[in-house]
Amino acid sequence: MAAALAPKLSRGTKSLLGGLTSGNSSGILKSSYEMINSRLFVQQHRTFIQMGTKLTVVDNSGAKVIECIQAIKADKYGARLGDTIVASVKEVRPGGKVEKGKVVRAVVVRAAMPRGRCDGSEVRFDDNAAVILDDKNDGPRGTRVFGPVPHELRKKKHLKILTLAQHLA
């Protein structure tokens, strides 16, 4: 409360805090005010999906969270929408098809980094999400895909994921 009022109170020579602020804020008020401002105005830097990036799994294969090991079919900087990655399963749901610690291949279906489209617009999601692929036939391991999936997957030949998706973005 006092930190939010510090800029208003420190403008004049009179203060409601009784001498704590005279022209400049005191060290306590100034440091807490700067701390609050630094948390409010932190810009999030969106990057490629690279080694160590955690992704949520949006199919019903049994995994919750995977961690990227390597981007296979991707740019030299990392993976984007529609790229295939190798990942390690970090969290699982009970009774799922995959076990914790298993190395799987997955397709990135949502990425926080913006991707430009042909019409000049760009698509960007709030989170990074992937669908786990089957080892045998390159299709998805699960039978349902949750949440929006961009239609850019059509260019990358992931048509089975598009047919299982509930909503196309």
- Which positions ≥6 away from 9 have C-beta within 8 Å? 15, 16, 17, 21
**Residue whose C-alpha is closest to residue 56's, from 124, 108, 3:** 108
The helix, strand and coil proportions of the chain, stated in percent and rounded to the nearest 5, come to 20, 30, 50
Write out pLDDT tens, residues 55-94: 999 999 889 999 999 988 777 788 888 888 999 999 999 9
Q: State the Cα–Cα distance between residues 125 and 46, nearest whole angstrom.
A: 11
State the pTM of this model. 0.68
Domains of the chain by residue range: 2-40, 54-168
Residue 99 token pair? 């076990």
Are residues 64 and 92 in contact, defined by beta-carbon separation less than 8 angstroms?
yes
Residues β-bridged to residue 43: none
Write out pLDDT tens, residues 23-55: 554 555 555 555 555 555 555 566 788 888 899
Is the CATH number 2.40.150.20 carried by domain 54-168?
A: yes
pLDDT for 162 equals 78
